Chains A and B, each alone.
Chain A
């Protein structure tokens, strides 16, 4: 029969509201207001998990987000399951199901516990050292290592919850709603600053709110009841927004912070439907005040990890806030006054405290008097050398410390207990401060890192600033805040503070034992099972940097990121290596402060919102006509239109044949379109394209190649002169945005004297490209008044015309090598024009074709696709396009680079055609091209860039880039594949209609 350790009612717990939950399959009860940890402790359950490496039994250690041990799996085997959740932060709700992690078959009997007995052969770096050889065995090792890696189980089903992102702008952000945060937020808001106050816990007031001791008073009230009235008041202030259950994860430059707001995790699952679960707040604050408090330090001694060993402050919080006693026979081990505070609090509630073991020899605090009044034995100058009890502590062994604290002396005394509170002093929570770029300094007196300096837009207040006593906190807070907010008064000028906390402390990073260190287990990082031994081993093996020691021993690398033990690791390194703490520095504190769910990070960007995509105005028509789509940049482009029982190859072959034999139609709306106007438009084009533009007549089109300044091909497309000072440029689909931005760059920064204006009109126009020998007949049916004669409308020219009132720009240009017309219309008329083309083309079997057929048709003609046949290393000369590079123009972008020593090399990779020995064999794009496979290492000459089976030529064709390819025409080369080699002959890249007869058919 389990005991009930709820000893006292608390105003934070609603004892009229009983909640049933399950832990490891067993039903328990708690009350509204409980965390999973407090409810378990009330049911006398300490053992909640197993440690990562040695599978040692572990219990609840803390009462907050710093918890290393009590991490559980919620709702195992459901879509809402979540691993590594801190039991100390989970608020219980009806139906909550939690289970222990890293144990099998159960937390009480765990097979992996054998690792504990194997621990002498599992030191730091065990995996690195052991599984290095023989190398060929790695694949066998990997299977077992992966199985033992990681703690919880990730969900296997899609997350059913909703997440969102929200931007918040404020004058002052206050992080942490303890006493400092509350006062700071109140002053800030009362002075008219738009203030946001956030805290990770569900209530306001931090550790002070439950402080009900005569030793800490404000204006003659206990600090807890004084703060309660303050909280009541701030809730009424208009320009103060308060967010609880909100944990700041990251503090970036320019006061940009990310916080996670929990909205439904405390509700029964049936009440969460259609509600946002978590919100990622993107906060931009003019000023930030961190009031993140301090985290109590554990003490490092032999077997300091047993269930039943908790931080002293956690025991106090469980008693004060939740009315729960962590044990019936409590002992404390401390090096400062904090444990006395806890002990007094327990005594007041009638909880038995057996003894306090204090590392200090001299204790002269007022608190001590109170303790001794209650007949609690205090062992001054003593330490614990060992603890006993496998699944729950039951006994400790204490000895006296030597003067220097490095040894234990005298006789051993055993004390029995069922709970041990430990306190090693306090570590200011400077994580967020350092994330923002703040530097730290080391304070020797109490061995803490504190913020080095305050800035104009950030202030640390309270114990995260190193102020540990109530009077220090209040005095410094008011003084600093006046400067920081530039205000004359705070309204707290007459506050009276009583604080009996004495700051004396005896800091010993690693407490000695009567046993040799090698025979002890003093844990520094509980979650990753790193001991002081491991750290010393790392130093012996030559590691010096704290960052290296961290990675070698995995200290501070768990889900808790070493919030408890990192300082001790530093201290032990400092002592062992003889380095100063200040010089050693800390490891880098990286975001997030506590883990974030993936759901919060991605917010609404899931499913169809995962990535935005662009649709042409003809998209619905393509869908209706069963097109398959491919992604080109952000666009969805029609890829091919399979008929029933047709595969991709068959569809593409049919579409290609139809386009060459009669007529095809392509949606070319995705091509980038840039409207260029201004009196210097021609000069501008001269400078950005490799060929000459000044003499292009109005109404004519020209193909252009655009280079980067390094001479490499960047983009291509046809530009049309609409009027004297008005051009429309087309770019590749994927390159549209970068071309636009590059042109703007040159216009604004290099040639501001040019009178040129650029406007992107890609979305404003839709383009239907009708090609094939019958295209002219189709166009003449739609535009009966348009003179399509060779004289009036030759290849590479354009006409303005109309259908009814709809203006159309028709270009006679061709990417397929067929006679073809591109109709450009205002995007909202696209569908009607397209359907007119289909209707008019019916008698010619007009066939819609997609991008795959377009690629095939242009490859037959040897036309390049920038980005497929080129990468950023191909010049126009490499592409055998010398004809497009003007010799006359003095300059254009990239010109000078075309005769750098590197670009004029004869053996550069050049674009060639490739024909397979077996005309039915189609090469794989990306396949390597070589000349000799016998001579090792095999020299790679190039690779295949485009490859298709051409239905019009009835053979396989390919383009590729080959070293010195221009001079290899007719030569035989080899394409080695996994299971065969393919013989190819280097050919001219133009496979079809080299004379361009079809353009004028």
Chain B
């Protein structure tokens, strides 16, 4: 069970959080312009990486804020957490 460093609250137990899938998938601004295939790409296609993965997490039983996390799925080490709208750390 992780200890997650919420960017708003600090370190908390994983049981306070909810995982929200892959991060940095932007909802298309003009869905009506998209073909079925393009829309399906946004809607259904998600990566399942062994290694560094960018994820969304929600401090559901805390401040209720959504934030992003960089996690190495091969060893579960959390590399970084950062707020929504911020650029992912480069290193």
**Chain A interface residues toward B at CB < 8 A:** 252-254, 256, 284, 437, 709-710, 741, 744-745, 748-750, 752, 890-891, 895-897, 900-901
Contacts and interface: CB of A to CB of B under 8 A. Distances in A.
Given A253-B1, A741-B58, A741-B60, A752 B84 contact: yes
A744 B20 CA distance: 12
A748 B66 contact: yes
Interface string B18-60: 1010000001101110101001100100000000000010101
Contact of B31 (A253, A284, A891): A891
A741 B1 contact: no
A713 B75 CA distance: 38
A252 B18 CA distance: 19
B16 interface: no
List of 4 A-B pairs having minimum Cβ-Cβ separation, nearest first = A896-B31, A748-B66, A256-B1, A750-B27
Contacts of A741: 18, 58, 60
A897 B43 contact: yes
B3 interface: yes
Contact of B1 (A254, A749, A752, A891): A254
Contact of B2 (A253, A749, A897): A253
B43 A745 contact: no
A748 B18 CA distance: 15
A744 B39 contact: no
A170 to B, nearest CB: 14
Interface residues of B, number: 26
A749 B84 contact: yes
B32 A749 contact: no
A254 B3 contact: yes
B85 to A, nearest CB: 6
Given A253-B1, A254-B3, A745-B66, A900 B84 contact: no
B32 A891 contact: yes
A349 to B, nearest CB: 48
Contacts of B28: 896
Nearest to A758: B64
Contact of A437 (B20, B56, B58, B75): B75
A455 to B, nearest CB: 10
A890 B30 CA distance: 9
Given A744-B64, A748-B65, A896 B32 contact: yes
Contacts of B13: 284
Given A896-B32, A901-B36, 14 more contacts: A252-B1, A253-B2, A284-B13, A741-B60, A745-B20, A748-B66, A748-B84, A752-B84, A890-B32, A891-B31, A891-B32, A896-B31, A896-B34, A900-B36
Given A252-B1, A254-B2, A741-B18, A752 B32 contact: no
A28 B39 CA distance: 78
Contacts of B75: 437
A891 B39 CA distance: 13
**Which of A741, A749, A890 has most chain B Cβ within 10 Å?**
A749
A686 to B, nearest CB: 15
A748 B23 CA distance: 13
Contacts of A256: 1
Q: Which of A748, A897, A900 has the most CB of B within 10 A?
A: A748
23 contacts: A252-B1, A253-B76, A254-B1, A254-B76, A437-B75, A709-B43, A710-B43, A741-B18, A741-B58, A745-B66, A748-B65, A748-B84, A749-B66, A750-B27, A752-B84, A890-B32, A891-B30, A895-B31, A895-B32, A896-B39, A897-B39, A897-B43, A900-B39
Contacts of A745: 20, 58, 66
B43 to A, nearest CB: 6
Contacts of B84: 748-749, 752
A890 B28 CA distance: 13
A745 B20 CA distance: 9
Nearest to B3: A254
Contacts of A900: 36, 39-40
Contact of B85 (A752, A895, A897): A752
